[in-house]
Amino acid sequence: MNRIDEAFARCASEKRAAFVAFIMAGDPDLTTTLVLIEALLEGGADVIELGVPFSDPIADGPVNQRSAVRALTSGTRLAGVLDLVARARRRWQVPIVLFSYFNPILAQGVGEFAARAAASGVDGVLCLDLPPEEAVPEFVDALAAEQLAPIFLLAPTSTKSRIRRVDELAQGFVYYVSRTGVTGDRAELAPELIRETKALRRRLHHPLAVGFGISTPDQVAAVGAVADGVVVGSALVRLIEEHGGAAAGPLATAVRELSEPLRQKKKGWFRR
């Protein structure tokens, strides 16, 4: 059992959804990111999603775009992100999933990337602009050879056959995009989200994490009641934007507050 499966299994045994925390590696710089990962863990994150900054993040809203610009400006590139994971791995066993666009991975070479990522202690890779059609065979095989989990997105527009395909290919968990759109926090969840998540979860053989736009404890509670994992990104990235090198304290507090409903609402937890 790998670290991702273990984390979701542990949360399931506690009858709660996992809290997945996203931050961008290298914002404001890689040394600080290590401190911020510690803060996420202190706050109670179960899985860490680490963004690889890219110059042209077409699936991201303004908050993550600015974060990527700060990370790139501090000199962060894929190789540096993998070094950071290696340093984190020496200290913690939390599952780490890379959240990247394909071009930096292609530039390194897919096989080479997979080998280095595995050696660094990465557990899974989500490539935002690599749907199953393009991930098979090269990318999926390269990850498989290194026992890395390919994480795929599903969206409100995904058809039944696409859902089946992703469920066949995925390992670790499946990431459901809560609404059509880019990353970023929003005042309200999409009205159909809870119903859609329930329906989707019944179709999948993998844990289902839901993200994009979840930013308040209430939203976490609502989604956490019907999903196996809740992803919070932009709300945390925003804190890093505000506090920069001093973000660790606020970040730990925010993760604690955001993940609290998951620990409390055991009764409402939706059984498979």
Footprint of another protein on 87-116 (CB under 8 A):
101-108
The one segment of 32-40, 71-79, 85-93, 189-197 that binds another protein by CB under 8 A: 71-79
C-alpha to C-alpha distance for 152 and 173, rounded to whole angstroms: 8
The binder of another protein chosen from 137, 157, 267, 271 (CB under 8 A) = 157
Q: Which of 27, 46, 60, 123 is catalytic?
A: 60
- Alpha-helical (H) ranges within the chain are 3-13, 30-43, 62-73, 78-91, 102-108, 110-120, 132-135, 138-145, 160-169, 193-203, 217-224, 234-243, 248-264
Q: How far apart are CA 19 and CA 14, in angstroms?
A: 13
For residue 177, give the DSSP letter: E
Which residue in 59, 144, 190, 194 binds another protein (CB under 8 A)? 59
Taking residues 38 to 57 in sequence order and writing x for each that binds another protein by CB under 8 A, - otherwise, the string is ----------------xxxx
Instruction: Please tell me which residue in 27, 29, 49, 123 is annotated as part of the active site.
Output: 49
Binders of another protein: how many residues, by CB under 8 A? 41
Within 111-150, the residues that bind another protein by CB under 8 A are: 128-131, 133-134
Q: Is 98 helix (H, G, I), strand (E, B) or coil?
A: strand
Find the shortest distance in angstroms from Cβ 108 to another protein.
7
49 annotated active-site: yes
Residue 56 beta carbon to another protein: minimum distance, rounded to whole angstroms: 5
Q: Tell me which amino acid residue 115 is.
A: A
Q: Looking only at Cα atoms, what is the longest distance across the chain?
A: 47
CA gap 183, 185 in Å, rounded: 7
Binding site residues, another protein, CB under 8 A: 54-61, 65, 72, 77-79, 101-108, 128-131, 133-134, 152-159, 162, 166, 177, 180-182
